[in-house]
Amino acid sequence: MINIHAHSFLSPRGDILFDLPDLSLKGGQIWAVMGANGVGKSTFLQACSGRDTSAVDPHWFWQNQPLPLWSDANFACQRAFLKQQSVLPSALSVQAVVKMAAYPWGGAHVQLRQYFDEVVNGWDLRHLQMRSCAQLSGGESQRVRLAQTELQIRLADVEQAMWLLDEPLTGLDAPHQQVVIQRLQHCANEGVLVISALHDANTALRLATHFLILSQAGVVYAGERDEARIKDALEQAFAVPLCWVKHPQDGSAWLLPARQS
């Protein structure tokens, strides 16, 4: 659980990005962090990861302990972070990179083999295990990163773990985007706190239980899924009028940009 006390949230340079309200992010929830480019989504995730303690001290708490007091080693056993941009080590195989998830435990874990097999199968990587990362496509590389971070979460032997993902759909085709939704929901159902920066509103509405929506003016919505309020907040955040349409197959509501004359 992350508890955040209301404060002005700062960029790494010390500029005020936005004012955060009191927030409580709990295991089993999926938070979608949304907003235009440059509003602070990645910086917020970076703070959640514990890698920028200057922005959170003394306002953020993980499991009721001030976030800056968590050592990197202890925190790495409880949270995984898929960064927006990272380069896989080209000299290593897919198998070796995914198994790097066990690094916080010294590279060995009694359940590594069990969870490795499950995660590799879940992310459709079985046939790529021995391939060099230098030979992967962009989408394949993204699935390797997703598999590595999910494996780290599954190895976490704690009551609550946290999976942070910065734009996890990048480079993925439609079938594998559906895999992202399924894997994140599966982990949330097992009690993991999932926080993900997303750009696609309809994916977020399918996936998330809670939303943090940011604009250049600050936080425009923070709380449980509420479709009417989320539509208004997204219109404000992106400065684009939106409208609801019914999906022709199941009648579910989808958001689309409104046609402008």
Range of the domain at 96: 87-157
Q: What is this structure's pTM? A: 0.94
Q: Judge whether 3 and 23 are in contact, CB under 8 Å.
A: yes
- Pick the range with the lowest mean pLDDT from 8-12, 124-128, 140-144, 167-171: 8-12
More confident residue, 108 or 173: 173
> pLDDT for 34-48, tens place per residue?
999 999 999 999 999
Q: Are 135 and 179 in contact (CB under 8 A)?
A: no
Give the per-residue pLDDT at 199: 92
Please indicate, yes or no, whether residues 66 and 101 belong to a single structural domain of this protein: no
| Residue 35 within any structural domain of the chain | yes
Provide the pLDDT for residue 11: 82
pLDDT band of residue 250 (cuts 50, 70, 90) is confident
The reply to whether 67 and 105 lie within a common domain is: no
- CA neighbor of 146 nearest in space, from 131, 167, 132: 167
Q: What is the mean pLDDT of residues 4-27?
A: 90
Domain-embedded: residue 175: no
Residues 22 and 65 in one domain: yes
Query: What pLDDT, on a 0 to 100 scale, did the predictor assign at position 55?
Result: 65
Confidence of residue 169 (pLDDT cuts 50, 70, 90): very high
221-251 b/e (C-beta count within 10 Å ≥ 16 → b): bbeeeeeeebbebbbbbbeeebeeeeeeeee
What are the φ and ψ backbone dihedral angles of 32, each rounded to 5 degrees?
-100, 120
177: in domain: no
Enumerate the β-bridge partners of residue 224: 210
Neighbours of 55 (CB within 10 A): 22
pLDDT band (50, 70, 90) for residue 259: confident
**Per-residue confidence (pLDDT) for residue 260, from 0 to 100:** 73
pLDDT at site 205:
93
pLDDT at 253 (0 to 100): 82
**Is the pLDDT assigned to residue 183 strictly greater than 90?**
yes
pLDDT digits over 211-227, tens only? 999 998 899 999 999 98
Is the per-residue pLDDT at 51 higher than 90? Answer: no
Who contacts 235 (Cβ-Cβ below 8 Å, separation ≥6)? Answer: 241, 242
* 3-state per-residue secondary structure call for 143-196: HHHHHHHHHHHHHCCCCCCEEEEECCCCCCCHHHHHHHHHHHHHHHHCCCEEEE
- Same domain, residue pair 127 and 194: no
CATH number (domain holding residue 223) = 3.40.50.300
Shared domain for 71 and 13, answered yes or no, is yes
Q: Are residues 164 and 261 in the same domain?
A: yes
Residue pLDDT, tens place only, 131-157: 999 999 999 999 999 999 999 999 997
220-227 LR contacts (CB < 8 Å, sep 24+): 222/20, 222/21, 222/23, 227/253
Residues 141 and 260 in one domain: no
Query: Quick one: 44 and 97 in the same domain?
Result: no
- Asked whether the bond before 12 is cis by omega within 30 degrees of 0, the reply is no
**How big is the CA angle at 111 (ends 102 and 131), to the nearest 5 degrees?**
55
Dist CA 204 CA 197 (whole Å): 9
Residue 258 lies in a domain: yes
Residue 96 and residue 116: Cα distance in Å, rounded? 11
Instruction: Tell me, yes or no, whether 228 lies in a domain.
Output: yes
Tokens 């999906």 belong to: 247
pLDDT tens digit sequence for 76-117: 899 999 998 788 888 899 999 999 999 999 888 889 999 999
Domain count across the chain: 2
202 touches 254 (CB < 8 A):
yes
Average pLDDT, the chain: 91
Residue 181 domain-assigned (yes or no): no
Is there a single domain that holds both residue 60 and residue 95? no
Q: Looking at the structure, do residues 49 and 165 belong to the same domain, yes or no?
A: yes
Residue whose C-alpha is closest to residue 153's, from 92, 209, 77: 77
